[in-house]
Structure 1
Amino acid sequence: MQKNCLVTGANRGIGLALARQLLERGDHVVATCRQPGKAIALNTLAGDFPGRLHVLPLDVATEKSRAEFVRELPLVLGEHTDLGPGRFDLLINNAGVLHSGERFGHVDAAIMEDSFRINAIGPFLLTQALAPLLADGAHIANLGSVMGSLARCSEFRSPSYCSSKAAQNMLTVQLAHALRARGIVVLALHPGWVQTDMGGDAATVAVDDSARGLLQVIADATLDASGQFLDWRGTPLPW
């Protein structure tokens, strides 16, 4: 049965690959990015799957953008679901930011605040706002990073990114508890060191391989797994 899926930050990299693979398996996808007019690859994908991909603007870090997005969704989904107006089966919070070049003694408060708004606070508040539009038994995936693992931290590196992803992990657990009564599964997922602009030239995991693995981990996850921190192959990661 066709599912309704939402992927944030879908204009490039892992988000784009996830949107494409969801469409290829027959699902209906709402894909977001901050500037849809500049999302050439995503708009091309919409042309390849007419009627099944809707590209909408969303800045997960701002309350106004989140509110406008949530108001618009029932109009988009109402024509495309057998579950009633505006019901999502899958939400993938993929949008994120990594500010590179941070050095101890020169870490900037504005950079840290931006990282937390985009990587942790935004996804949590977006999910909270979308909760009435989620189907019971839906799946939520918060794309995090092993760099958010306190146990794995062995050097001073990208403190804004690492700490915001650690916060995202806690908020994933909070969401898992909040939504458990509705049978909604919430996961924190590390996509691997992926060959994207963020991952860099030395990355070891192909984008399509990561996306394929993530979707399989999500599909296999039962309610017993809700709140877990897993990598793209389903391997548990330390907090």
Structure 2
Amino acid sequence: MPNPRRCLVTGANRGLGFEFARQLLERGEHVLGTCRHPGRAPALNDLVGEYPGRMHVLPLDVANPKSIAELARELPLVLDGLDLLINNAGVLHSGERFGSVPSLNLDDSFRTNASGPFLLTQALAPRLAPGAKIASLSSSWGSVSELEAFRTPSYAISKAAQNMVTALLAKALAERGIVVLALNPGWVQTDMGGTHAELTPAESVSAMLRVIDDAGPGDSGRFLDWRGKAVPW
């Protein structure tokens, strides 16, 4: 049997992040789940008891560089390296209207959705194993080519920036054989996607894990959906 992968999932307290942690644990992997307030994440902490020795939880606010630095210092205490990094943590400020979009929304979205994943990956890069994989959850709303209407600009702008982060990280880490992907999870039944979405978290995550498993060096830097199909930039 292959050795279990050492995985880190950001925003693991709910939604797709929690489902990534759960399915990776079911596969037999070692998982470090992060969120801003672990003490307020009972379901995530339950996984620690359910999978002793393979599930760990640490605090992380991806929008805060000091929090990223602290996680990088603490990581070796629970994992001796990383084979898979899931940049899942994100924020969406709903209800934005042109003419009244607050600058704070734009700043918060950029820090959480774009610069946060970049700075976290940069800080953890020394811990990434050769041939490791990085998947950052993006969105079709971050696709300039598929833009159809004015909607949630702080989210759309930050996700477009995050897609560039993926392309840049793919170049920076190519010599080590590390595969970096931007993944569109589809319309999923989460707090962000709503109850009428077409995919359950389990369906979306299961499909994305297959895409991650199948991805090779030639796929690094690509923007793919949960089925493995290319998404226009």
Question: What TM-score results when the alignment is normalised by the length of structure 1?
Answer: 0.96
- 2:121 partner amino acid: T
* Correspondence for 2:185: 191
SS of residue matched to 1:210: helix
Query: Offset at 1:17?
Result: 0.4
SS of residue matched to 2:94: coil
- 2:45 partner amino acid: N
SS of residue matched to 1:126: helix
Query: Offset at 1:23?
Result: 0.3
Q: What is the Cα-based RMSD across aligned positions, in Å?
A: 0.5
Give yes or no for the alignment of 1:94 onto 2:88: yes
Q: Distance in 1 between matches of 2:98 and 2:23?
A: 40
Q: What does residue range 25-174 of structure 1 map to in structure 2 within 5 Å?
A: 25-77=27-79, 86-174=80-168
Gap regions ≥5 residues in structure 1 = 78-85
Partner of residue 18 from structure 2, selected from 16, 19, 26? 16
* Correspondence for 1:4: 6
SS of residue matched to 1:131: helix
Please give the per-residue CA displacement for 1:150-198, whole angstroms capped at 9, x wherever unaligned.
Answer: 0111100000000000000001000000000000000000001000000
Query: Offset at 1:201?
Result: 2.1
Q: Distance in 2 between matches of 1:211 and 1:204?
A: 13
SS of residue matched to 1:107: coil
Please give the per-residue CA displacement for 1:82-106, whole angstroms capped at 9, x wherever unaligned.
Answer: xxxx210000000000000000000
More displaced stretch, 8-17 vs 201-210? 201-210
Q: Distance in 1 between matches of 2:166 and 2:176?
A: 16
Q: Distance in 2 between matches of 1:237 and 1:75?
A: 38
- 1:145 partner amino acid: S
* Correspondence for 1:83: none
SS of residue matched to 2:75: helix
Query: Offset at 1:50?
Result: 0.7
Q: What does residue range 157-236 of structure 1 map to in structure 2 within 5 Å?
A: 157-236=151-230
Q: Distance in 1 between matches of 2:142 and 2:199?
A: 19
Hey, which bits of structure 1, 4+ residues long, moved more than 6 A?
Answer: none
Q: Distance in 2 between matches of 1:194 and 1:14?
A: 9
- 1:119 partner amino acid: N
Query: Offset at 1:45?
Result: 1.2
Query: Offset at 1:202?
Result: 2.0
Q: Distance in 1 between matches of 2:105 and 2:138?
A: 18
- 2:231 partner amino acid: L
Alignment: residue pair count? 231
SS of residue matched to 1:2: coil
SS of residue matched to 1:51: coil
